[in-house]
A and B are shown apart, each in its own frame.
Chain A
Amino acid sequence: MSEESGAKHKFAFYLGCIAPNRYPGCEAASIKAMKKLGVELVPLKGASCCPAPGAFGSIDLNVWYAMAARNLVLAEQMKMDIALLCNGCYKSIWEVNHKLKHNKDLRDGVNEVLKEIDMEFKGTINVYHTAELLYNERFVGVDKVRDSVTNPLTGARIAVHYGCHIVKPHKDREFEKEAMLNTEHPTWMEELVAALGATPVEYRNKMQCCGAGGGVRGYDLVHSLDITNEKLINLKEVKADALTDICPFCQLQFDRGQIEIQEKFGVTYNLPVLHYAELLGLAQGMSPQELGLDLHGISCEPFLQKVL
């Protein structure tokens, strides 16, 4: 394999909703940081919501398959694999791709609908999460991530929230890296955090859900926040300086959720919450302004003071 400059890998960048429309820093950081690591992310023109697996899947799985398939076909037409930065999107886009490739009955059903918009799902591409690209040395790998760091996040204690839909249910997932199939106590994200010079910290029940998924955030906000609050209690116990995630929806739940928790439960945590792409951007020398960290509900200042 050649080590020349320029992008070695090119992906159609599937954005989803919350990253581009609420935390655009995640999008900007992913594009810039991945480029430094030899991965070019090009726009996937005309993509829509994945669609939200909780909301759409709950109403009618057939619609969920068809809507996700439309996004997949856009990438098929570009003859490019998809990279994305959100666990919810991973569930829709990766899982529907996988299901349609392996189940003729589902594929036929979807193609009957797609015919109405002159599209056909062919099953010619693969789907990856950017975190997976970073961890897998076939694309980037932890060593290259470490080598790209110019501003190590030394001294910061960072806890990881893996989220659910990238890794669960593990019996349906097909990661090349075996470590990613461990859903009881994985440490691959901690490796990525350590590569940035920070200290990864473990906490109780770290694989617990953020509480937002399945439409529960919209159906019963207090119930959903109560799950988030339990995680925040456990995070406070280990005195983490920041929480990192790989899912903008989890990020929304932890970040804006802390404000709602303050209002509803009267508890304050002030725990900065950053997508791993934002952390990576910081470690590669991007400024907090370039990352749009001021858009976060919970100020990242105390954390930034430690690492800048």
Chain B
Amino acid sequence: MARVKGYPEALEKKLRDQRYVREDSNPEFTKNVKSISRTIAHMCYQCGTCTGSCPSAPRSTYRIRKFMRRAVLGLENEALTDPDLWLCTTCYSCADRCPRDIIPTDVIMSMRNLAFKRDIVPVNFLKTVQAIYSSGHGVPNNDVNRAAREKLGLTRDPPTTHMYPEYIKGIQTILNHYKLKANADRIVKEREG
């Protein structure tokens, strides 16, 4: 595994200390979060600068510091089943201010990745996948916009997959490689029938 910034090996040994483990802890979760996020989540000392910088915190129960604690303690279920996990706007203000040089936003992203493996995911994320699978664009073109583009001296469709649909096949191959389209279709169908 690639070495993570600011991660001295001696500390890993120290962190095996059982004090950090609760009965409902899954130490694998802490490791998975670290390897997916590629940031040193377990270095968090709970100062709360992240929550203090968070635009989502003042208007919800979302507390990124709480998720950081869950990462350290390996509280997998608590973290992945909390609907607040999806309220991070990924503005990275917490990352810019973290005194431990952690990127808390990427900790959230890794937890979302792990949640998706358990089919925990809001459908709007999956609909973006479906849109890109069929058109290459998350926000596709439409007729009103085509007419507007023409007036501006642009091509009716932009020179992307819209104008060159032969490129869409490559995108579908990538998405199929990860079985992302199949999983998205399955989950959307289960939720919406």
A residues contacting B by CB (< 8 A) are 15, 17-18, 20-22, 24-25, 27-28, 43-49, 51-63, 66-67, 70, 103-106, 113-114, 116-117, 119, 164-165, 168-172, 183-184, 207-209, 211-216, 218-220, 223-224, 226-227, 230, 289-292, 295
Contacts and interface: CB of A to CB of B under 8 A. Distances in A.
> Which of A46, A113, A220, A227 gathers most chain B CB within 10 Å?
A46
A22 B139 contact: yes
* Interface class of chain A by DSSP: helix
Contact of B174 (A45, A70, A291): A70
A49 B132 contact: yes
A117 B92 contact: no
Contacts of B178: 60, 62-63, 66, 113
A164 B92 contact: yes
B159 A169 contact: no
A55 B128 contact: yes
Contacts, number: 224
Contact of A171 (B55, B96, B170, B175): B96
A202 B181 CA distance: 45
Given A216-B87, A216-B89, A28 B116 contact: no
Given A24-B148, A60-B180, A227-B56, A52 B96 contact: no
B1 A105 contact: yes
Contacts of B18: none
A57 B109 contact: yes
A297 B110 CA distance: 35
B161 A48 contact: yes
Contacts of B153: 28, 290
> Which of B1, B171, B174 gathers most chain A CB within 10 Å?
B174
Please give me the 5 A-B residue pairs with the lowest Cβ-Cβ distance, nearest first.
Answer: A218-B124, A46-B167, A209-B91, A20-B158, A168-B92
B122 interface: yes
B160 A214 contact: no
28 contacts: A21-B140, A21-B142, A28-B153, A47-B161, A49-B139, A58-B112, A59-B113, A60-B113, A63-B175, A105-B2, A116-B177, A164-B92, A164-B93, A169-B105, A184-B96, A207-B93, A209-B91, A213-B90, A215-B86, A215-B122, A216-B56, A218-B124, A220-B87, A226-B59, A227-B59, A290-B152, A291-B152, A292-B151
Contacts of A230: 55
> Which of B90, B121, B141 gathers most chain A CB within 10 Å?
B90
> Which of B87, B160, B162 gathers most chain A CB within 10 Å?
B160
